[in-house]
Amino acid sequence: MANAIDVRGLRKSFGGTEVLAGIDLVVESGSIVALLGPNGAGKTTLINILSTLVKPDGGTAKVAGFDVLRDPESVRGVIGLTGQSAAVDEVLTGDENLRMMGRLFGLDRGEAAARSRDLLAQFGLGDSARKRVKAYSGGMRRRLDLAISFIVTPPVLFLDEPTTGLDPRSRLELWDGIRTLGASGTTVLLTTQYLDEADQLADRIVLIGGGRVVVEGTPAELKATTGGEVVELRGASDELIREIPTDGTVSGLRRAIDELDASEAEGTITIRKPSLDDVFMSVTAEARELIDTKG
């Protein structure tokens, strides 16, 4: 399978701060890849470089075979981008926003109107189609902004924290839309702060820290990197008192239980599989070590 995104040794600094420190990333065509990492890890900077909004200081980056520096116009012709804030016209209605963008993307009047109706329904905005966007709530604006990204399906779609500000139902609806895009062959690269979102959507997850890729793999592969089961001690209200990772062996589980027993803390012991939260905490610690070493 061809690579939709190919990044080699990408570097970017702002002032004296190095945000990307030689990052490498390969994304296969038709896959959904989630970028995770602590704040300041460089996720948005990477998206901005790939979408030609920011120029890198070094390294190479290609999208659908086009170099972001040598051929930015071709890159812009094959991508879609939704940023972290809603970019819609407040004076127009939701329907008018979508129709206008549809026309700009080359749809005729009938096609733009039909696409607007479908997207308004898909994103739960059908009842507000004729309302001016300035009367929309923040979540409604976010959904409209995302709907605009779906007017014409591009080969590669960048989503920077797409569900920030959405209610749980809207998040699930958007997840379905992203899955549909992936199934149709669109490559999706998204950043997210929600680990469950990455777990549910991504074929592969890339965790970055200190401006580099720290670890990547499928959700199952990443969870396996943290070891075996985690033994938890929870209080009467199910609050977490303490947790101890294990290597998954019987002796490892016994040692963890004995350690909790020796602490004489009161509660109920449970055993769970590793989660992406465990992976994220581990990667965050590694990122701090990288930064400390560089500093």
Indicate if 68 and 188 belong to the same structural domain: yes
Q: Is residue 175 part of a domain?
A: no
Residue numbers of the domain that contains 238: 226-294
Reported as type and span, the H/E element at residue 231 is: strand 230-234
Give the domain CATH number at 196.
Answer: 3.40.50.300
Most confidently predicted of 70-74, 212-216, 257-261:
70-74
Q: Is residue 221 part of a domain?
A: yes
Cβ neighbours of residue 195 closer than 8 Å, sequence gap 6 or more? 36, 275, 276, 277, 280
Q: Is residue 177 part of a domain?
A: no
Indicate if 31 and 99 belong to the same structural domain: no
Which pTM value belongs to this model? 0.74
SS3 167: coil
Please choose, from the candidates 69, 125, 64, the residue with its C-alpha nearest in 3D space to the C-alpha of residue 97: 125
Indicate if 267 and 129 belong to the same structural domain: no
Indicate if 92 and 234 belong to the same structural domain: no
29-78 pLDDT, tens digit each: 999 999 988 888 899 899 999 999 999 999 999 999 999 999 999 999 89
Q: Is residue 208 part of a domain?
A: yes
How many percent of the chain have pLDDT more than 70? 89
Indicate if 257 and 206 belong to the same structural domain: no
Q: Is residue 192 part of a domain?
A: yes
Q: Is residue 213 part of a domain?
A: yes
Please choose, from the candidates 196, 189, 208, the residue with its C-alpha nearest in 3D space to the C-alpha of residue 283: 208
Structural domain total, the chain: 3
Indicate if 8 and 70 belong to the same structural domain: yes
